[in-house]
Chain A
Amino acid sequence: AQSVTQPDIHITVSEGASLELRCNYSYGATPYLFWYVQSPGQGLQLLLKYFSGDTLVQGIKGFEAEFKRSQSSFNLRKPSVHWSDAAEYFCAVAASTNAGKSTFGDGTTLTVKP
């Protein structure tokens, strides 16, 4: 069965600082990996996705993520955080063998200090 772990429940960074959110997954074959962002009271928005090719993927809002098969990780990064990035971030994994259903991590809440 597929699973996702986001080790950090809450992260606080200063505006302008770099950001890395961790995600570890468990799945036997090559997974489909995603990062989503959720602002308070809103639905989730897709930031980026990986399913093949270059292991460094670029997303919207200046985010990027790197797939590392050896570490079963798909960490999200941003070089300089803006106050508007404060939100909850979810990592997810999907598989073609599971009818495309995704398993979501429990989320990481990002607070941005001025």
Chain B
Amino acid sequence: DVKVTQSSRYLVKRTGEKVFLECVQDMDHENMFWYRQDPGLGLRLIYFSYDVKMKEKGDIPEGYSVSREKKERFSLILESASTNQTSMYLCASSPLLGAYEQYFGPGTRLTVT
């Protein structure tokens, strides 16, 4: 079974802090994604990576950056956390070829106070 893990299930940070969210997948997938999920807004893509050191902005990249130094690890960085970044963050991975199904981690509930 594909396994996607996220470093924290719950995280509380203060405004202005630098926040790192880590995601690791064990299936050698090329593609990795970061989404945020908010009530009434569905899943919104923040960033997408299709290979090591390669990244592409999603629909809402402002205030976020990402890092992918190894194939299995994709990090989301909030350079200076703000209260409007309080959300559920979901990481996913998928193979480059095939049916493009995505495998999700359990999510990180981030609260910025």
A105 to B33, CA, bound (A): 17
Which of A18-26, A79-87, A93-101 contacts its partner? A93-101
Provide the bound-state CA to CA distance between A113 and B53, in Å.
48
- Tally of chain B residues near chain A (CB < 8 A): 24
Most chain A CB inside 10 Å of its own CB: which residue of B33, B48, B101: B101
Measured between beta carbons, the chain B residues less than 8 angstroms from A99 are 31, 48, 50, 56
- Determine whether the beta carbon of B106 is less than 8 Å from that of A42: yes
Q: Does B74 contact A (CB under 8 A)?
A: no
Interface centre among A32, A42, A90 (most CB of B within 10 A): A42
Q: Do A42 and B99 touch across chains, with their CB atoms under 8 A apart? A: no
B contact residues around A36 at 8 Å (CB) = 102, 104
